[in-house]
Every structure is written in structure tokens, then in C-alpha cells.
Amino acid sequence: MISISHENDYIQTVVFGEFTLQDYREFEQAVLYQSEFHGPVALLFDLHEMLSYTLDMALEEIKFVREHGQIFQRVAVVSSDQWVTWSAWISRLFTDAEIGMFTESDDAKTWLMEETDLNGATPA
């Protein structure tokens, strides 16, 4: 199950239990909407409660990031799982976005807010 909320400066996504293809497609829609109407996307991806993911979801993630990696400004990933950390580092191959890894959600939010203003632009 997935929870997506649009905060002032970023999209917050929290995954609970199994992360499925249907969940990921819901995430894709939110990101594409944000990008089209509000510009580059800052994202907080909280995976602390994720227990597993489906293979089709993982393949869709690779496809989506390869096709749309340029729309991401910053991505904060919250997880203590080493496989998730490894996956986030692999994603760097397909996007120019800054990717930060965190074990605490508050640290991730602070990092996103330090570099993102209300217009989604990075301060000079």
C-alpha cells in the first residue's frame, strides 16, 4: 500500500507492506502531474514500513526513471535496508537529481527543505 501527499515543496510517498505495480503507477501519476504543472519534482520516499516489493514494480521503476529521470530535482530516500540503499545508488545512473539516503524521515525533510524553495527551485 502507498500513501502520497503533496506538501508545500515536495511530494511525500510512504510505502506500507508490499510495494506493488499498482502502487508504483499511482506514484508515477502523482510525479508526472507535479512535473507538468509545478516544475521539477522534489520527493521524499519513505520506505521504512516496506516489507517487500514485486518484481514487476521493480522493472517499472527502472523504466520510469530511465524515461523521466530528468524531472526529478532532489530525492530523499528513507530506509535502513541495505538493498534499498543499493537500489537508490543504481538509480543515480538514470537521473541527474540529487539523491540523499536517510534513516530518519525528519532528517530527509530537513535536507529537502534546505535546498528547495516554494517554487521548486534550488537557491543560488
pLDDT recorded at residue 86 = 66
pLDDT in the model for residue 8: 80
31: its cell numbers: 510525479
Q: Residue 83: which domain range?
A: 2-115
Given a contact cutoff of 8 angstroms between Cβ atoms, the answer to whether 16 and 46 are in contact is: no
SS3 assignment for 10-49: CEEEEECEEECHHHHHHHHHHHHHHHHHHCCEEEEEECCC
3-class state of residue 53 by DSSP: strand
The confidence score (pLDDT) of residue 93 equals 66
Q: Which pLDDT score, from 0 to 100, does residue 57 have?
A: 92
Residue 78 maps to a domain: yes
Instruction: Provide the number of structural domains found in the chain.
Output: 1
**To which residue does cell 535496508 refer?**
81
Q: What per-residue confidence (pLDDT) applies to 102?
A: 94
Instruction: Residue 104: give its domain's CATH number.
Output: 3.40.50.10600
- pLDDT number for residue 113: 87
> Is 123 within a domain?
no
Mean per-residue pLDDT pooled into runs of 10, the chain (124 residues): 91 95 96 93 93 91 91 92 72 80 94 65 44
124 lies in some domain: no
C-alpha distance from residue 12 to each of 8, 44, 55, 99, 108 (Å): 10, 5, 23, 14, 10
Q: Identify the H or E element spanning 101.
A: strand 98-102
Does residue 120 lie in a domain region?
no
Number of continuous H segments (helices) and E segments (strands) in the chain:
4, 7
Answer yes or no: is 121 within a domain.
Answer: no
pTM: 0.82
